[in-house]
Amino acid sequence: MTRYQLPELEYDYNELEPVIYADIMRVHHGKHHQGYVNNLNKALENFQEAQSRGDLAKMMVLQKAVHFNAGGHINHSLFWENLAPASRGGGGEPQGDLLLLIKNEFGSFEAFIEKFSALTVAVQGSGWGWLGYDKEKNRVDIMTCFNQDLLQEKGLIPLLCIDVWEHAYYLQYKNLRADFVKKIWDIINWKKVAERLGQAATGK
Ligand code: MN3
């Protein structure tokens, strides 16, 4: 059976400062994400065991733990990749097809940032803000998800996500989620987001 593992980051914990302090990264990646990975492996193991016994009720109960922890692992893995230190390409504006699709949908890059930020800050409780790609219509859209639900469950391919669970910002920004979302644009890895769009559009 596949054992899932915590992905290594392409930057050090302190390299996203001052937008995200090293302390947050240490806890967020090293503890929270590791926790999702550990719990996912455990839940899958128990699920398989229940399956081998044909215990359908137990499987249904365990499915919730699989869903939650797999979502946590998948979403965080995407999140780390779509961040980059400002000194190494983070921030700025997207280019090419990505910028074109954003402009088609929202009018301008600035209008997109404003709408994405407003919707993401407004997530009730814990969740994520997303930019996703609708392949059928060849357009991008902003959506929010609760807890560790996947954007894929809403029929979109994930391009960019921002984690607005309190563990993502509380140590540094306290209750000011809006300040965190305002600053995070300085470390968005638009190159990675564009790469995902390219893969989504060509179906690879
Ligand atoms: Mn998180």
Q: Express each pLDDT in 1-33 by its tens digit.
A: 899 999 999 999 999 999 999 999 999 999 999
Please state, in angstroms and rounded to a whole number, the distance separating the CA atoms of residues 118 and 93: 19
Q: Who contacts 192 (Cβ-Cβ below 8 Å, separation ≥6)?
A: 81, 82, 84
User: Three-state SS across 22-77?
Assistant: HHHHHHHHHHHHHHHHHHHHHHHHHHHHHHHHCCHHHHHHHHHHHHHHHHHHHHHH
- Rounded distance from Cα 29 to ligand 1 centre (Å): 8
Q: Check whether 203 has a pLDDT greater than 80.
A: no
Look at the pTM and tell me if it is higher than 0.85: yes
- Rounded distance from Cα 163 to ligand 1 centre (Å): 6
- Rounded distance from Cα 153 to ligand 1 centre (Å): 19
- Rounded distance from Cα 26 to ligand 1 centre (Å): 12
pLDDT tens figures, 161-188 = 999 999 999 999 999 999 999 999 999 9
Q: Check whether 128 has a pLDDT greater than 90.
A: yes
Q: Check whether 147 has a pLDDT greater than 80.
A: yes
The overall average pLDDT reported for the chain is 97
- Rounded distance from Cα 162 to ligand 1 centre (Å): 9
- Rounded distance from Cα 32 to ligand 1 centre (Å): 7
> What pLDDT, on a 0 to 100 scale, did the predictor assign at position 204?
58
Share of the chain above pLDDT 90, in %: 98
Across 108-132, average pLDDT? 98
Q: Is 92:56 a contact under the CB 8 Å cutoff?
A: no
CB atoms within 10 A of CB 179: 14
- Rounded distance from Cα 154 to ligand 1 centre (Å): 20
- Rounded distance from Cα 45 to ligand 1 centre (Å): 23
Q: Tokens 């600035």, residue?
A: 110
> What pLDDT, on a 0 to 100 scale, did the predictor assign at position 129?
98
Cα 192-196-200 angle, rounded to 5 deg: 170
pLDDT tens figures, 41-84 = 999 999 999 999 999 999 999 999 999 999 999 999 999 999 99
- Rounded distance from Cα 72 to ligand 1 centre (Å): 7
Which of 123, 70, 119, 98 lies closest to 188 in space, CA to CA?
98
> What pLDDT, on a 0 to 100 scale, did the predictor assign at position 6?
98
Q: Check whether 192 has a pLDDT greater than 70.
A: yes
